[in-house]
């Protein structure tokens, strides 16, 4: 029998976060994926360096790759240091890869990394989302809704 998936992921130390993704996309489903990293990349991430602001994931030959994620070279690395923006393989179950591939191919969805973090066992993970792009008027609606919630909370706090 399969172990039930937790509703939220065990994030002990968040290294990088893509905060703009929730503004630009409707998040449909999220997945936790491992990353195939070299030693100097892990050391660089443990120092809190790295950025996924302009990165995305793509399905290629039955595998999922994280593209354009920036993990800077390790400062104490030697000649075996890594390339900062190389594509990195994401480690997922085959049925998750098939689900993502189908959604990207048929429904025109995008794979967006939301955060890079270390879990409780010390493994580097990526929170990956299946997302649908928002139009300009949808973004304005999101701003209006967020401002109204903030204003409503302010009114309730002042009166109560």
Average pLDDT across each block of 10 residues of the chain; the chain has 160 residues. List them in order. 68 90 90 92 90 92 93 83 90 94 90 93 93 89 92 90
Whether the CB-CB separation of 91 and 31 falls below 8 Å is answered with no
Residue-level pLDDT at 11: 82
b/e 47-75 (16+ beta carbons within 10 angstroms → b): eebbbbeebbbebeeeebbbbebebbebe
Residue-level pLDDT at 100: 92
Whether the CB-CB separation of 30 and 84 falls below 8 Å is answered with no
Residue-level pLDDT at 5: 66
Task: State pTM to two decimals.
Answer: 0.81
Residue-level pLDDT at 3: 67
Q: How far apart are CA 57 and CA 75, in angstroms?
A: 27
Residue-level pLDDT at 113: 95
Residue-level pLDDT at 107: 87
Q: How far apart are CA 44 and CA 116, in angstroms?
A: 12
């Amino acid at each position: 029998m399969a172990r039930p998936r937790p509703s939220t992921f065990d994030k002990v130390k968040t290294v990088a976060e893509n905060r703009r993704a929730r503004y630009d996309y409707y998040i449909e489903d999220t997945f936790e994926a491992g990353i195939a990293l070299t030693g100097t990349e892990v050391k660089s991430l443990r120092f809190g360096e790295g950025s996924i602001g302009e990165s995305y994931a793509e399905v290629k030959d039955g595998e999922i790759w994280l593209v354009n994620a920036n993990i800077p070279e390790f400062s104490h690395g030697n000649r075996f240091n890594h390339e900062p923006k190389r594509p990195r393989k994401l480690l997922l179950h085959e049925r998750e890869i098939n689900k993502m591939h189908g959604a990207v191919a048929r429904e025109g969805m995008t794979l967006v990394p939301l955060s890079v973090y270390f879990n409780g066992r010390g493994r580097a993970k990526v929170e990956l989302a299946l997302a649908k792009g928002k139009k300009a008027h949808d973004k304005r609606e999101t701003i209006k809704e967020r401002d109204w919630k903030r204003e409503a909370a302010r009114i309730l706090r002042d009166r109560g």
